[in-house]
Structure 1
Amino acid sequence: MNKVTVIVPIYNVEQYVRTCFDSLLKQTFEDFVVYAVNDGSPANEQSIIDEYVAKYPNKFVGIQKENGGYGSVLEMAISKCETPYFIICDPDDYLADDALEHLVDLAELSEADITIGAKYFIYSDGTDKDYDAAYNTAFTKLKVNTVYNSGTNEYNDLFYIDPSPHSKLYKKEVAKKIKFLHKVGYTDNLLFYISLLTASKVIYTDKACAYYLVDRAGNTMTDIRPKALDAHIEVFKTIVDQAQSLNPCDMFYYRMFESYKFILYQTPRMMGTKTEYKEKLDHLYEFVEKLIPHRSQIQPIYKKNAKGGFLEKYRDMQLLKSSSSKKTYAIIEEKMIQNFKEK
């Protein structure tokens, strides 16, 4: 029996697919199967998928579907998954040769629901790789090869982990009830945060198990279209909605507020007109509204961690106060629009 399903979501990444597939064939761990999911790609990946399925029928399963976006791929693949664990390997990225062996060994020894590793950033121009611990080291220091138990103060530190799918081995059980959005990006955030709220045990390793191509045109790190901004907002609104039945900790809501601020500070990069920009800022406030009822949970952690000046801190707390939120956001929005440069 295979232990791991490697999910490879494929859309318009023809030039990268072979490198990804070959990295999987080099794995020192053998008990895995690859779900190569063609999400209605207009490129020629299907012929490559067919080639690997024909050569390695015990390793590769080719799946073709109509285009539905990243979340639809995860939804389909997780529902079809027949192994206790799964991992996502985006086709423009690849795994270290011993990635699966290391992550599975840790998962089985610790009985962890999620096993998380570090990663390397790599670049399209072939420059040197950069090590990334996969969490915000400015706020915490994660213990290596140590089990984090849900409900403890130490578990809160895991919310500083980068939610990207790289180097994350999931038990299928923690993700099978997630309702994924279709036709949008950023759904890896939904997978991580809801799984983290569902998990009982998590373990972290500082070994870099994945290589992440960060500057490919069109990925979520570089996509500045209005549609991409809408997707980012919708995913985080959905995360808050789906978390309600999982009794989220205070740290979860604090991290959601920090996610709002991250999106806000990214909005000036958007391509478009000032009219479109205002529409997206109005949309972003819908996310803020979902956080207002949790002000009392966010505020203590915010006060401890906030690094901005007095005015920023005051504004943020006024934003989360129901009586002053809309007025405060209107001031923020007006300033952002004034400074926005149409592209």
Structure 2
Amino acid sequence: MKILSIAVPCYNSAKYMRKCIDSLLKGGEDVEILIVNDGSFKDNTAEIADEYETKYPGICRALHKENGGHGDAVYEGLKAATGEFFKVVDSDDWVDEKSYALILEKLRYFINESDTELDLLISNFVYEKEGAQHKKVMNYRRVLEKDRILTWDDIGTFLPGQYILMHSVIYRRKMLIECGLWLPKHTFYVDNIFVYYPLPYVRTLYYMDLNFYRYFIGRDDQSVNEEVMIGRIDQQIKVTKLMLDAYNPYKIENHKLRKYMVLYLEIMMVICSILAIKSEDKDNLIKKKELWRYLRRSNIRLFLRLRWGFLGQGVNIPFKLGRKFSVLCYKITQKFYGFN
């Protein structure tokens, strides 16, 4: 039995996917690496995937499919996975070897020795921003006690702008299937759904204070490039609406989980709003207003919390001067957290 299945969605990734896969091979026979070729056509991604499967049988598997987007490739990997746990590593990212070994050792312990069934393991990630001398680390030390089994009752308070991303998580595979996780095709930013949707099904968590995942930022065509995000604001709004529709967080019994899920939705609303403001496009500003109206119609209690919270007020200051102030606040936060 494999300890960990790792899906690597690849779309015209020939220039950088080897670095990613080579870092994952350090896991040896304990892992299966699912190289999902999502209809690549501009380069030899498909051939590289087949090459790894041939060279590392029993570890690497090449999955070829028609193009369906990042989320569909992740979902294809999940359906094909056989490991006890499941993780996604994007083809332009990589993992730290020492942290990798420690995480696999801990997962092995939960499978073979512990009486507790672990649903979610969380670790740190590093913003590998091209050209940046200081690499920002996203850790959860203030929120999660390390190296012990936790429930939602044990978590602390997340800061605004601090939330769990796909880079941070390793989920129990069967839990992802049992919760009915689904990711839409041809849609960017569904990594937020991947992290958010299973949360109410998580009963046990474990935090390892290790800088495991290396998140590359720097390609001009990258989905998190700010200009690209502005161009794809419709997709960001679509994902946000799907998350708003997934649950009424006020029906979540555990108050700490409820508080965190509200924070996550607040961040999604703010991201959509600030992208619309930064675009300086009238149509996008109309879409921003419509999104807030959508929230108001669907969940008035959540609307009041998000609209009149600190962040909601910050992105809804009227007039041009107010929008400039919103952008200034965003840039300060951007510099502090090191994203984009």
TM-score of the superposition, structure 2-length normalised? 0.78
Q: 1:294 aligns with which of 302, 317, 339?
A: 302
Q: Give the partner amino acid of 1:58.
A: G
Residue equivalent to 1:145: 147
Residue equivalent to 2:287: 280
Residue equivalent to 2:277: 268
| 1:30-45 matched pairs, under 5 angstroms | 30-44=29-43, 45=45
List gaps (5 residues or longer) in structure 1. Answer: 317-328
| 1:172-251 matched pairs, under 5 angstroms | 172-176=173-177, 177-225=180-228, 226-244=230-248, 247-248=251-252, 249-251=258-260
Displacement of 1:3: 1.6
Displacement of 1:156: 6.1
Question: Does the Cα contact within 8 Å between 1:53 and 1:60 map onto a contact in 2?
Answer: yes
Residue equivalent to 1:164: 165
List gaps (5 residues or longer) in structure 2. Answer: 253-257, 328-340
Distance 1:332 1:174 in 2: 47
Distance 1:212 1:170 in 2: 18
Displacement of 1:155: 6.4
Q: Deviation per CA, 1:76-122, whole angstroms, max 9, x where unpaired?
A: 21122222211111110001113443223334156421111112221
Q: Identical aligned pairs, as a percentage? A: 20
Distance 1:263 1:335 in 2: 16
Question: Does the Cα contact within 8 Å between 2:89 and 2:167 map onto a contact in 1?
Answer: yes
Displacement of 1:197: 2.1
Q: Give the partner amino acid of 2:6.
A: V
Question: Does the Cα contact within 8 Å between 1:120 and 1:212 map onto a contact in 2?
Answer: yes
Displacement of 1:299: 9.0
Residue equivalent to 1:322: none
Relative to structure 1, is the Cα distance of residues 296 and 331 closer, same or farther in structure 2, using a 3 angstrom cutoff?
Answer: closer
Displacement of 1:335: 6.3
Displacement of 1:330: 10
Distance 1:123 1:299 in 2: 32
Q: Deviation per CA, 1:155-214, whole angstroms, max 9, x where unpaired?
A: 664997534321421101332211212111111111111122220011112210111102
Q: Deviation per CA, 1:116-147, whole angstroms, max 9, x where unpaired?
A: 1112221334x546141345x7xx44322233
Q: Deviation per CA, 1:256-278, whole angstroms, max 9, x where unpaired?
A: 123312331233343xx734323
Distance 1:31 1:158 in 2: 35
Displacement of 1:298: 6.0
TM-score of the superposition, structure 1-length normalised? 0.78
Distance 2:194 2:122 in 1: 13
Distance 2:160 2:204 in 1: 14
Relative to structure 1, is the Cα distance of residues 129 and 47 closer, same or farther in structure 2, using a 3 angstrom cutoff?
Answer: farther
Tell me, what secondary structure is at the counterpart of 1:6?
strand
Distance 1:335 1:53 in 2: 54
Answering whether residue 16 of structure 2 is matched by residue 16 of structure 1, we say: yes
Residue equivalent to 1:89: 89
Answering whether residue 124 of structure 2 is matched by residue 123 of structure 1, we say: no
Question: Does the Cα contact within 8 Å between 2:5 and 2:86 map onto a contact in 1?
Answer: yes
Q: Give the partner amino acid of 1:182.
A: K
Displacement of 1:41: 1.8
Tell me, what secondary structure is at the counterpart of 2:104?
helix
Displacement of 1:51: 1.3
Tell me, what secondary structure is at the counterpart of 1:91?
coil
Q: Give the partner amino acid of 1:144.
A: K
